[in-house]
Structure 1
Amino acid sequence: MIDFTNKRLIAVNVGMTGKKKDFTSLPYSKIQAFSVETAGVLDLDAELDLWFSGLGNVRLEFKGSADIRTIGQTIASYVL
């Protein structure tokens, strides 16, 4: 699960049993570059790559039904 706020995005990874959760807070102010890849015919997942200063590359994958263009525009409005 990924939550987008006005200052950061929060990625939540749930373990296999559902009891263990990992919360990662990624502030927009640390994003140096980003890339948006839409879903295609054979590749059904859309991808958002973010490069953070001091952290490196983070890849987020979305199901084909996600509106990745709007997500990219939102990221751009906070980063640029």
Structure 2
Amino acid sequence: MIDFGAQFTKMSNADLGEANALLDGLLLDGETVHAAFKGANNYWAVFADRRLITVTAQGMTGKKREYSTLPYSSLRATSVTTDAKIELWFADLGFAVLGGMSMPYRLRLEFVPDVDVRALERFVVGKIL
């Protein structure tokens, strides 16, 4: 499962064709990619119409990859900053419980300045409201 402390930094726009090839066999029938971003350490964040898919490279060569699905239905809050950062707060993922209550998990994505994070946040918020 995704390491919520992972460094999704310097995320820049990626080619949708490259993202579709990266996710070959993982997308559901009829599911489409809305936006894709590639960052430092070969990390990916792919915003599909039903979920956010993160891809992290592992190992010395980075050829081993971990794919994690974060459904928009688990997204509880978002935050966007003017310096091109988005924070997404996910709950109901079945993880650590504190005092009988599950804790939301924060995923921070830091983009290069030319990424329109406001448009991306509007897309995400449209999936949860």
Q: TM-score, normalised by structure 1?
A: 0.81
| Stretches of structure 1 lacking an aligned partner (at least 5 in a row) | 40-45
Q: Helix, strand or coil for the counterpart of 2:73?
A: helix
Q: What do the CA deviations read for 1:4-50 (whole angstroms, capped 9, x no partner)?
A: 111101011123522121211110000111101122xxxxxx21111
Aligned to 1:49: 87
Q: d(CA) in 2 for partners of 1:12 and 1:64?
A: 22
CA RMSD of aligned residues (A): 1.4
Aligned to 2:122: 73
Code of the aligned partner of 1:8: R
Q: Please state if 1:30 is matched with 2:87.
A: no
Q: d(CA) in 2 for partners of 1:24 and 1:52?
A: 13
Q: Please state if 1:19 is matched with 2:63.
A: yes
Q: TM-score, normalised by structure 2?
A: 0.53
Which has more radius of gyration? 2
Q: Please state if 1:10 is matched with 2:10.
A: no
Q: Which has the higher mean CA deviation after the structures are superposed, 28-37 or 6-15?
A: 6-15
| Stretches of structure 2 lacking an aligned partner (at least 5 in a row) | 1-43, 94-104
Q: Helix, strand or coil for the counterpart of 2:53?
A: strand
Q: Please state if 1:58 is matched with 2:102.
A: no
Work out the number of aligned pairs and report it. Answer: 74
Q: Helix, strand or coil for the counterpart of 1:48?
A: strand
Q: d(CA) in 2 for partners of 1:66 and 1:12?
A: 19
